Amino acid sequence: MGKPTGFMEFDRENEGKRDPQERIGDWKEFLVELTDEPLQKQGARCMDCGVPFCHTGELIGRSAAGCPINNLIPEWNHLVYQGKWKEALDRLHHTNNFPEFTGRVCPAPCEGSCVLGINEPAVTIKNIERSIVDRGFDNGWIVPREVNKRSGKTVAIVGSGPAGLAAADQLNQAGHKVTVFERHDRIGGLLMYGIPNMKLDKNVVQRRLDLLAEEGIDFKTGVNVGVDVTADQLKSDFDAVILCVGATQPRDLKIPGRSMDGIHFAMEYLHGSTQYLLSKSNEPIDAKGKKVVVIGGGDTGTDCIGTALRQGCQSVVNLEIVDRPPDERSDSNPWPQWPVVFRTDYGHAEAKAKFGQDPRKFAVETVEFIADKDWNLKGLKTMQVDWSKPRPGVAPFSHVAGTEKIIEADLIFLALGFLGPEAPISEAFGIEIDGRSNMVADESDYLTSVPGVFAAGDCRRGQSLVVWAIGEGRGAAEACNAYLESPVATSV
């Protein structure tokens, strides 16, 4: 807890954001950190709640409740309130390998389960987390750690996203020799190429990667496992293999007109944009001067909006098939579940600042892509949907008659989520998969159907959050460590 009466004395104060009209002119992070005094007041708001649900990490009704990696939130809130920032950093790192990532991109299920949040605005947990770790880097408290004793065992990790990096960090600290294989030209997975720079600066990612490399982890880029190196080679050359390849197979929208140019998957767009920002080595999909439509919401849809605005799009529309969420929790979404309520993310705020209105349109289904006489993308046809009238065996909604509408578009981005991991990796290792193409591996040991081969992250559990991926990586590392018969690394 923080100050016993702090939750009654201090209001919630969020971190600042740069002016939307200013920030869409560059690719710098849009958040502005609070100074010491307001941060300590925010830490003081952490109440003596008896049973802190913020760090439970449970799934209640298929909804996240609390922190999936069981962050010791009340402890470091209290330490921040006391001004003991270095001690707070130690407690934060005890459960979280990369708080600088989660403190920027996590939607903070912990705040949705904050006890204070039952009838008052929750504690600003995510903001405090980010401030602690950034202060740690700024003050030189985060330095390479020495591994005192090597086990002589070797581990190959395929995929360098948050799950792979967390597993690599844990196993390296346990004394094993870890090599991480990444098929792209830079390490980081979705942290590097899936999340735009304005939300997660790539220098923030790189400073952690440099630290891990100094601690002894080998990173190999441009290696497509199954093509450049075979599964049999990895199994032969290493004592264990952990697959952390994500769920990168995008969900498509197979409707009339899908084959024409100008319709792209969101990750194709975001990857190319960030790659160009970092190296200028490719020509990205450019929204400058174009009418953009983003189909699908969530973080990925918002990131497409923010990227298109920074490229100078002429207009942007965001279509979501779901109904507009309520402003307050519904009775079917009780605390401590993640509150499904209407939120305005950074991209929505930026679009409203530039064009005068929120870009989102809810309860809309795209039914056809429209072309001109030369088969060039011209727009799309939509219909309103009614979720109260499902069509059994067809769809959980029905179309509303007479609501057909044509929306002009030069570029369309599909942000419809992901189906699962790409098939070649599972096929290369001969791993059993489930009906969603996820690798079958129980959470108790993360072992696949192939001895010595583990799976963790989105390729095992399906598309999820960065914080869940970190938790999966840590869990797989512990299981792999036990498999290698070495002492378990209990902290980072």
pLDDT of amino acid 491: 32
Residues 362 and 258 in one domain: yes
Q: For 90-181, where are the E strands, in sequence order?
A: 154-158, 177-181
Tokens 């990173």 map to which residue? Answer: 219
pTM higher than the cut 0.85: yes
Domain boundary among 416, 436, 471: 416
Answer yes or no: is 148 within a domain.
no
Q: Does 298 lie in the same domain as 160? A: no
Examine residue 313 and state whether it is found in any structural domain, yes or no.
yes
Q: Do 162 and 257 lie in a common domain?
A: no
Residue closest to 114 by CA, chosen among 38, 55, 43, 40? 55
Give the separation between CA 274 and CA 270, rounded to whole angstroms: 6
How many CB atoms are closer than 10 A to CB 469? 34
Residue 289 tokens read as: 């001067």
Q: Which of 416, 433, 466 is the last residue of a domain?
A: 416
- Residue 144 DSSP label: P
* 291 touches 410 (CB < 8 A): yes
Which residues face 470 on adjacent strands?
none
Question: Are 240 and 268 contained in the same domain?
Answer: no
Residue 162 near residue 469, CB atoms below 8 Å: yes
Residue 342 lies in a domain: yes
Q: Domain residues for 368?
A: 252-416
CA–CA distances in Å: residue 288 to residues 294, 312, 341, 411: 15, 4, 32, 10
Domain total of the chain: 3
* pLDDT of amino acid 62: 72
Same domain, yes or no: 199 and 280: no
pLDDT (tens digit, 0 to 9) for every residue of the chain, 492 residues total? 778 899 999 999 999 999 999 999 999 999 998 999 999 999 999 999 988 999 888 878 777 789 999 999 999 999 999 999 999 999 999 999 999 999 999 999 999 999 999 999 999 999 999 999 999 999 999 999 999 899 999 999 999 999 999 999 999 999 999 999 999 999 999 999 999 999 999 999 999 999 999 999 999 999 999 999 999 999 999 999 999 999 999 999 999 999 999 999 999 999 999 999 999 888 899 999 999 999 999 999 999 999 999 999 999 999 999 999 999 999 989 999 999 999 999 999 999 999 999 999 999 999 999 999 889 999 999 999 999 999 999 999 999 999 999 999 999 999 999 999 999 999 999 999 999 999 999 999 999 999 999 999 999 999 999 999 999 999 999 999 999 984 443 332
Residue pair 255/369 in contact (Cβ under 8 Å)? The answer is yes
Q: Are 54 and 111 in contact (CB under 8 A)?
A: yes
> In terms of domains, do 278 and 369 share one?
yes
307 & 425 share domain: no
Domain match, 332 and 430 both: no
> Are 162 and 267 in a shared domain?
no
Tell me if 38 is assigned to some domain. Answer: yes
Task: Supply the CATH number for residue 51's domain.
Answer: 1.10.1060.10
- State whether 232 and 286 are in the same domain: no
Residue 288 in any domain: the answer is yes
- Listed residues 416, 435, 457: the one ending a domain: 416
